[in-house]
């Protein structure tokens, strides 16, 4: 018997009603008064705490509204130089990660190496067990952590030096090729400030700076200034990307370039600027001949699929602007020539005389906060590096893996088999808040505090014109039996080598680091400064000193991006992009799940975006399920017809398809990285996520696509939906 | 609780109910009151505007002073709210209660 959905719903509703009727008893709630009322808590009156958002590594300043000791709402801190009062959806949703019902509440130990069962243990047992392993590993210790800064960074480095281990940062949104390119050009000086606010003409090669690139809220504010912050100038903006992203949709012009040719287009643009419009920086011609000299513009036009007229128009506008600025990242990073492309893209800034100028690329030196171990750089864990680690672990000696708040097992493509790294390690400990894919392969999970419960500080990793150091303080008392990461590390240090790190607690270390920064004033004075810093959310009093940089322009070659899969068999480029609303790791938060994707209005799942012309040739309609196939695997997803994408590209949001990440994320959607075929950016070793070619195939089935204008509920009088005229 | 006890320590001590309450204080244990009325998070309600409109406590809470135990006098469900709003000519805009 075929049961229609509506019939099933009716039956289900009747079953639920009958199930509910006999035992219809309201849940009993208890009101428990304070025995002795806290002087500082007035019921119904909110307390606000200044802190620093810990959801991504941008470190926006926040104000947390708490009532009766519970965090209720998070807003941007208007005085904070990074976000200037603004806050993204992810930051707003941080209360949901605090109250997430699946947060780990105490340390747990896995019951047997291969089982998925974890049993609660005490903190003493957990610390003891990890310390034993660290002692016996004799330096074969690897820690993979989300990027940290400030005191946490210094402490982790000190701890890893003490035990003789290696520390790696891992963040799937780090744009490692961009960092590598900047390192090759400017040396090891960190990320610059791209002064978008001061520019009057902005070209972005795939950098999704209004979505998740580096420090999106800060760039969003700067973008607003560029457009509307000056009385007479309205900055213009051109975005170059195969897909119309949210950032592209905000641009004056969107250039749908052929994937992987971003560097080539930059080369063509530089060539025209150098040879035909060299009036700007004529004296520097020689320096840039090596970069932009011999380029065949016709070939550029054919390969990039951008007409020469468009290229000349770009060059003309660029040359005519007072403060032109070129940025690159995102899709430009995701190919086998990512680093090379970004060297050339950033080279355009040098050609335009932008380095160190207002409205250009600026570097600042940080001096007033000396305690985060700047003398030591922490390498980024790329997929190629992970492979090398795996080979090392497979050599058979004892090795210990520590994982802090990152999920490489999920975010690195399955073909990289990072799970083997976990299986090969003799011992794995995880410090994340949820039992995600990586933590569920650990031997011991030691959940750390949520950032709203703990102490910390943060220095932005992008350069800032003001010296910025933000503080994080507990806005709520801890909900469960978790511990501050810094305290776990200190406990481990004490257990491994007593007396080595003398701090009683991380809070004490943090306060020491900060008060020593206030100079040789009296203790009372230092205390006053400390309290006022906490009140303000950090310190940002002094202007940063500009750093003058001499860029190295060695002759750079630009290889064509290579793609995995035969072009005839796999005619489409797969374009996986981090979900606009959730990013790589926000699928566990229902507020982000139900936030419609800005351009397609789709939510709660994974979809595949196909150009309507392509879809028509395949006979595919909106909502049809298609099978997307690469040479390594296939997945199925419903189709969203999206005119803002090249006909030879299919795009899918990344971030769903979890097998273990709390109840809201698990089993929802699919992960397009299952299709990824191994290909690496040559210089940085990052996985070239855009290098996979795919084919699509009809399945004849209809999918359950949840769109804003087309909710997945039965028609009823309750929700009235006006039929929206399709825009296509 | 400190606030409650500061008066009840001297008021009607001999009554068994008062003694029961004071026993909690002696043991330094908070009383677990059973919550009668619980409005969901998505409802915005204040007593203030209802008192300003001239309502007496009994209208919604019943004659508590005459009750041996306190049952829920009104359902406090949306239909109940709306019927009164309608009868009184008060606003029936969704936004009034769901903010």
pLDDT of residue A371: 59
Q: Does A34 touch chain B (CB under 8 A)?
A: yes
Range in A118-127, A188-197, A586-595, B3-12 with the lowest mean pLDDT: B3-12
Report the gap between the CA of A29 and the closest CA in chain B (Å): 5
Residue A21 pLDDT = 40
pLDDT tens for A366-414 read: 665 655 666 788 999 999 999 999 998 888 778 999 999 999 999 999 9
Q: Distance between CA A485 and CA A452 in Å, rounded?
A: 13
Find the mean pLDDT for residues A182-203: 91
Contact at 8 Å (CB) between A427 and A132? Answer: no
What secondary structure does DSSP assign to A570-637, as a single string? S-EEEEEEEBTTTBTT-TT-HHHHTSPPTTT-EESS--EEE-HHHHHHHT--TTEEEEEE-SS-EEEE
Burial class (CB in 10 A: 0-12, 13-18, 19+), A479: middle
Cα A514 to chain centroid distance, Å, stands at: 28
pLDDT at A516 over 90: no
pLDDT for position A523:
87
What is the residue whose two structure tokens read 């001061």? A198
Asked if the model's pLDDT at residue A483 lies above 70, the reply is yes
Q: What does the pLDDT look like over A522-558, one tens digit per residue?
A: 888 889 999 999 999 999 988 888 888 777 766 578 8
CA distances from A258 to A146, A241, A447, A557, A663 (A): 32, 8, 44, 19, 39
Q: For A662, phi and psi rounded to 5 degrees?
A: 85, 165
The predicted pLDDT at position A553 comes to 66
Q: Do B2 and A35 touch (CB under 8 A)?
A: yes
Most confident region among A43-57, A126-140, A249-263 by mean pLDDT: A249-263
Q: Inter-chain contact A29–B32, Cβ cutoff 8 Å?
A: no
Mean pLDDT, rounded, of chain A: 88
Chain B residues close to A31, C-beta within 8 Å: 32-35
User: Could you tell me which chain A residue has the CA closest to the CA of B39?
Assistant: A29
Does the beta-carbon distance from B33 to A32 stay under 8 Å? yes
The nearest alpha carbon in chain B to A36 belongs to B2
Residues A31, B34: C-beta atoms closer than 8 Å: yes
Residue A23's pLDDT band, with cuts at 50, 70 and 90, is very low
Kindly tell me if the per-residue pLDDT of A38 is higher than 90. Answer: no
Mean pLDDT of A208-227: 94
On whether the CB atoms of residues A608 and A638 are closer than 8 A, the answer is yes
Inspect the interface and report whether the beta carbons of B1 and A36 lie closer than 8 Å: yes
Determine whether the interchain pair B31/A32 forms a contact, defined as Cβ–Cβ distance below 8 Å: yes
Residue A35 near chain B (CB below 8 Å): yes
3 state SS of B73: coil
Q: Taking 50 as the threshold, does the pLDDT of residue A18 lie above it?
A: no
**pLDDT number for residue A366:** 67
Sequence-distant (6+) residues with CB within 8 A of A30 are B32, B33, B34, B35
Closest Cβ opposite residue B35 in set A31, A34, A37: A31
pLDDT recorded at residue A283: 52
Structural tokens at position A580: 């606009």
Say whether A30 and B33 touch across the interface (CB within 8 A).
yes
Where do runs of H (alpha helix) occur along A187-215? none
For residue B29, which residues of chain A lie inside 8 Å, CB to CB?
A: 35
A73-82, A225-234, A551-560: segment of lowest average pLDDT: A551-560
What residues of chain A lie within 8 A of the CB of B4, using their CB?
A: 33
pLDDT at A476 over 50: yes
A32 to B30: CB separation less than 8 angstroms, yes or no: yes
Instruction: Give the pLDDT confidence of A291-339 residue by residue, as tens digits.
Output: 787 789 999 999 999 999 999 999 999 999 999 999 999 999 999 999 9
Cβ–Cβ contact A39 with B under 8 A: no
**How far away is chain A from the Cα of B36, in angstroms, using its nearest Cα?**
8
- B30 with A28: Cβ contact below 8 A: no
In chain B, residues with a C-beta closer than 8 Å to the C-beta of A37 are 2-3
Nearest to A35 among B1, B33, B38 (CB): B1
The minimum CA-CA distance between B65 and chain A, rounded to whole Å, is 21
Which residue from A30, A35, A37 is facing B34, i.e. has the nearest CB? A30
pLDDT at A3: 45
Chain A, chain B: beta-carbon pairs less than 8 Å apart: 33
Interface test with B, best of A24, A26, A27, A32 (most B CBs within 10 A): A32
Numbered residues of chain B with Cβ closer than 8 Å to any chain A Cβ: 1-4, 28-35, 38
Interface test with B, best of A34, A35, A43 (most B CBs within 10 A): A35
Structure tokens at A346: 């950033």
HEC string for A260-292: CCHHHHHHHHHHHHHHCCCCCCHHHHHHHHHHH
Q: Which of the four pLDDT bands, split at 50, 70 and 90, describes residue B69?
A: confident
pLDDT for A22 beyond 50: no
Cross-chain residue pair B1–A31, CB shorter than 8 Å: no
What's the sign of the alpha-carbon dihedral A458, A464, A468, A471? negative
Nearest to A74 by CA among A54, A58, A57: A54
Chain B positions touching A32 (Cβ under 8 A) are 30-33
Contact assignment for B33 to A31 by CB distance below 8 Å: yes
Residues of B in contact with A36 (CB under 8 A): 1-2
ipTM for this prediction? 0.73
- pLDDT at residue A158 is higher than 60: yes
pLDDT of residue B4: 79
The pairing of strands A456-458 and A469-472 is: antiparallel
**Whether A37 contacts chain B with CB within 8 A:** yes
Please name the residue of chain A whose CA is at the shortest distance from the CA of residue B38.
Answer: A29
Check if A31 contacts B (Cβ < 8 Å). Answer: yes
The pLDDT value recorded for residue A287 is: 72
Q: What is the pLDDT of residues B76-94, one digit of tens each?
A: 888 999 999 999 999 989 9
Q: Do B1 and A34 touch (CB under 8 A)?
A: yes
Which of A28, A29, A35 lies at the smallest CB-CB distance from B30?
A35
Angle, helices A285-292 vs A338-351, to 10°: value is 160
**Confidence bin at A7 (pLDDT 50/70/90):** very low
Of A290-294, A387-391, A434-438, A643-647, which range is least confident?
A290-294
pLDDT tens for each residue of B18-57: 888 888 888 888 888 888 777 887 888 889 989 999 999 8
Q: Least CA distance to A38: which residue of chain B?
A: B2
Q: Write down the pLDDT at residue A68.
A: 82
Residue A549 tokens read as 């940089």
Which one of B4, B30, B38 has the shortest CB-CB distance to A29? Answer: B38
- A96-112 pLDDT, tens digit each: 999 999 999 999 999 87
* DSSP string for residues in A118-132: EEE--HHHHHHHHHH
Q: How confident is the model at residue A81 (pLDDT cuts 50, 70, 90)?
A: very high
Question: In terms of pLDDT, which residue wins out, B22 or A721?
Answer: B22
- Pick A36's closest partner by Cβ from B2, B31, B32: B2
A719 Cβ under 8 Å from any chain B Cβ: no
> Judging by DSSP bridges, how do beta strands B33-35 and A29-31 pair with one another?
antiparallel
With b for 16 or more beta-carbon neighbours within 10 A and e for fewer, the A401-412 pattern comes to: bbbbbbbbbbbb
Determine which of A279-283, A503-507, A588-592, A621-625 has the lowest per-residue pLDDT on average.
A279-283
Question: What is the pTM for the complete model shown?
Answer: 0.85
Region for residue A43 given its phi and psi (left: phi exceeds 0; alpha: psi -120 to 50; beta: otherwise): beta
Q: With CB atoms and an 8 Å threshold, state whether B34 touches A29.
A: yes
Chain B residues in contact with A28 by the CB 8 A cut-off are 34-35
Residue A723: pLDDT band with limits 50, 70, 90: low
Half-sphere exposure of B25 (CA within 13 A, CB side): 15
d(CA A343, CA A268): 14
Chain B CB contacts of A33 under 8 Å are: 1, 4, 30-31, 33
Identify the pLDDT of residue A728: 52
**Considering only alpha carbons, which residue of chain B is nearest residue A32?**
B32
């Amino acid at each position: 018997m075929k049961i229609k959905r509506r019939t099933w719903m009716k039956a289900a509703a009747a079953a639920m009603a009958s199930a509910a009727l006999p035992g219809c008893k309201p849940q009993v709630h208890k009101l428990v008064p304070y025995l002795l009322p806290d002087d500082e808590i007035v019921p119904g009156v909110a307390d606000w705490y200044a802190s620093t958002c810990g959801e991504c590594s941008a470190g926006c300043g926040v104000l947390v509204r708490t009532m009766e000791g519970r965090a209720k709402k998070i807003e941007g801190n208007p005085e904070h130089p990074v976000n200037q009062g603004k806050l993204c959806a992810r930051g707003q949703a941080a209360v949901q990660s605090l109250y997430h019902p699946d947060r780990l509440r105490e340390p747990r130990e896995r019951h047997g190496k291969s089982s998925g069962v974890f049993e609660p243990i005490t903190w003493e047992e957990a610390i003891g067990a990890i310390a034993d392993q660290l002692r016996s590993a004799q330096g074969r210790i690897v820690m993979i952590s989300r990027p940290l800064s400030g005191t946490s960074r210094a402490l982790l480095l000190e701890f890893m030096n003490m035990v003789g281990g290696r520390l790696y940062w891992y963040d799937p949104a780090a744009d490692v090729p961009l960092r590598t390119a900047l390192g090759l050009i400017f040396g090891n000086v960190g990320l610059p400030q791209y002064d978008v606010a001061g520019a009057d003409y902005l070209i972005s090669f795939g950098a999704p700076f209004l979505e998740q690139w580096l420090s999106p809220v800060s760039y969003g504010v700067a973008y607003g200034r560029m457009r509307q912050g000056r009385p007479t100038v309205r900055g213009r903006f051109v975005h170059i990307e195969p897909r119309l992203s949210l950032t592209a949709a905000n641009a004056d012009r969107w250039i749908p370039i052929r994937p992987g040719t971003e560097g080539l287009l930059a080369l063509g643009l530089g060539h025209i600027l150098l040879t035909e419009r060299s009036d700007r920086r004529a004296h520097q011609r020689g320096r840039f001949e090596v970069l932009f000299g011999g380029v065949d513009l016709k070939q550029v036009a054919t390969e990039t699929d951008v007409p020469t007229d468009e290229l000349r128009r770009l060059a003309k506008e660029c040359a005519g602007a007072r403060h032109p600025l070129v940025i690159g990242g995102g899709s430009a990073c995701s190919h086998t020539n990512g680093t090379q492309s970004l060297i050339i893209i950033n080279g355009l800034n040098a050609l335009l005389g932008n380095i160190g100028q207002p409205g250009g690329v600026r570097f600042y030196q940080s001096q007033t906060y000396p305690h985060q171990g700047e003398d030591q750089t922490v390498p980024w864990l790329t997929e190629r590096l992970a492979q090398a680690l795996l080979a090392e672990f497979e050599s058979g000696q004892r090795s210990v893996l520590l994982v802090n708040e990152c999920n490489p097992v999920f975010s690195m493509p399955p073909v990289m088999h990072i799970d083997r790294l976990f299986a090969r390690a003799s011992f794995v400990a995880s410090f994340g808040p949820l039992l995600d894919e990586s933590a569920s392969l650990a031997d011991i999970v030691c959940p750390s505090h949520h950032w709203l419960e703990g102490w910390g500080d943060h220095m932005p990793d992008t350069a800032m014109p003001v010296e910025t150091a933000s503080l994080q303080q507990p806005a709520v008392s801890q909900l469960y039996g978790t511990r501050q990461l810094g305290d776990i590390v200190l406990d481990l240090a004490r257990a491994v080598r007593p007396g080595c790190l003398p701090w009683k607690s991380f809070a004490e270390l943090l306060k020491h680091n900060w008060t020593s920064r206030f100079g040789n004033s009296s203790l009372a004075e230092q205390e006053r400064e400390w309290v006022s810093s906490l009140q303000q959310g950090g310190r940002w009093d002094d202007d940063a000193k500009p750093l003058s940089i001499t860029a190295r322009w060695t002759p750079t070659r630009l290889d064509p991006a290579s793609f995995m899969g035969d072009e005839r068999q796999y005619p489409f480029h797969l374009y996986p992009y981090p979900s606009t609303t959730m990013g790589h790791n926000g699928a566990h938060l229902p507020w982000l799940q139900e936030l419609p994707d800005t351009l397609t209005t789709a939510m709660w799942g994974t979809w595949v975006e196909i150009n309507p012309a392509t879809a028509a040739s395949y006979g595919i309609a909106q909502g049809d399920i298609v099978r997307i196939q690469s040479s390594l695997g296939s997945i199925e997803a419903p189709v969203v017809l999206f005119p803002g994408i090249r006909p030879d590209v299919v795009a899918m949001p990344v971030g769903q398809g979890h097998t273990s990440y709390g109840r809201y994320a698990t089993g929802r959607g699919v992960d397009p990285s299952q299709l990824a075929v191994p290909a690496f950016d040559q210089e940085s070793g990052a996985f070239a996520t855009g290098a996979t070619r795919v084919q699509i195939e009809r399945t004849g089935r209809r999918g359950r696509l949840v769109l804003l204008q087309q909710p997945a509920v039965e028609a009823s009088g309750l929700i009235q939906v006006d039929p929206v005229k399709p825009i296509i | 609780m400190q606030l409650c006890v500061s008066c009840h320590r001297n008021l009607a001590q001999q009554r068994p109910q008062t003694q029961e309450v004071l026993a909690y204080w002696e043991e330094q244990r908070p009383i677990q009151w059973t919550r009668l009325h619980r409005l969901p998070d998505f409802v915005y309600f204040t007593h203030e505007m209802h008192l300003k409109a001239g309502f007496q406590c009994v209208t919604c809470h019943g004659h508590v002073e005459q009750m041996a135990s306190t049952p829920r006098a009104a359902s406090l469900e949306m239909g109940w709210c709306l019927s009164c709003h309608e009868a009184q000519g008060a606003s029936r805009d969704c936004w009034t209660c769901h903010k």
